[in-house]
Amino acid sequence: MKCSDVRTFLSQISEKSVSMQIPQSDLDFLSTNGYVSRMSKGDYDQASAEVSNLEQLNQQLETERTEETKADETVSQDLKKTHSLLFHFEGKDKKQAELQKAETDKVALSKEESDIAEKESQLTDFIQKRSAFDQLVQYGSEYLSLTGYGVLMLNALNARSSRVSDMDFSEFVQEMNATDSELRGIAQRAANFVTEIRERIPFPFSDIQQG
């Protein structure tokens, strides 16, 4: 598979309009090596159903937050009553009733807080799924999207398109890996050199700057 073909295919996925057809083996290669994410029709339908519940869950969360505010106010009022000076002059039965109410209201508040935390977690999960879902494009009987690595590869191909257009994609990947390895080696040698210099100098660099 030539780099020009990979660039075109990845570009079409990014633009969510795939007209190009590639051999199954090439698609397998792109997905196996982490450039393209694939989703089956069944998984897509399930994700679609979950994403459609996003607005409903958001409305439920707003209702829960309103209920939590009311419950919090009730607990605050209970606290004021049971800690007031007049409370100590109340009869035993009334005291017991007020304390029992305060405990019941605290339990209700705790439940509201727990429900909100659960729904917020679900909402975050749905939002993440929605973001990923929005990147999908249909391709035959499945759905495709670019991975983060795929986006980086597309950018690399765009930047070098004139030079690598007719190059085999596997060769281009090997060339990139070799270049990255060489750059990492240079960076490591530079870091080692700086460390060695610092170890030989008997005073901090900050003293030189101040001087």
**Non-local CB neighbours of 129 within 8 Å, separated by 6+ positions:** 47, 50, 51
139 domain-assigned:
no
Asked whether residue 59 falls in the same domain as residue 95, the answer is yes
Asked whether residue 31 falls in the same domain as residue 84, the answer is no
pLDDT in tens, 65-77: 888 888 888 888 8
- What is the pLDDT confidence band of residue 175, given thresholds at 50, 70 and 90? confident
How far, in Å, CA of 182 to CA of 174, rounded?
A: 12
Asked whether residue 54 falls in the same domain as residue 3, the answer is no
42 domain-assigned:
no
Asked whether residue 169 falls in the same domain as residue 203, the answer is yes
User: What percent of the chain is predicted at pLDDT more than 90?
Assistant: 34
pLDDT in tens, 93-114: 887 888 888 888 888 888 888 8
Q: How many Cβ atoms sit within 10 Å of the Cβ of residue 89?
A: 8
Asked whether residue 2 falls in the same domain as residue 28, the answer is yes
Question: What is the domain extent for residue 211?
Answer: 1-35+151-211
Decide which of 133, 165, 188 is a domain's last residue.
133
**What does the block give as tokens for 62?**
């707003």
Residue among 120, 129, 114, 112 at smallest CA distance from 50: 129
| The total number of structural domains that make up the chain | 2
Asked whether residue 62 falls in the same domain as residue 121, the answer is yes
pTM equals 0.59
Asked whether residue 121 falls in the same domain as residue 158, the answer is no
Going along the chain, which residue ranges are E strands? 36-40, 137-139, 142-146
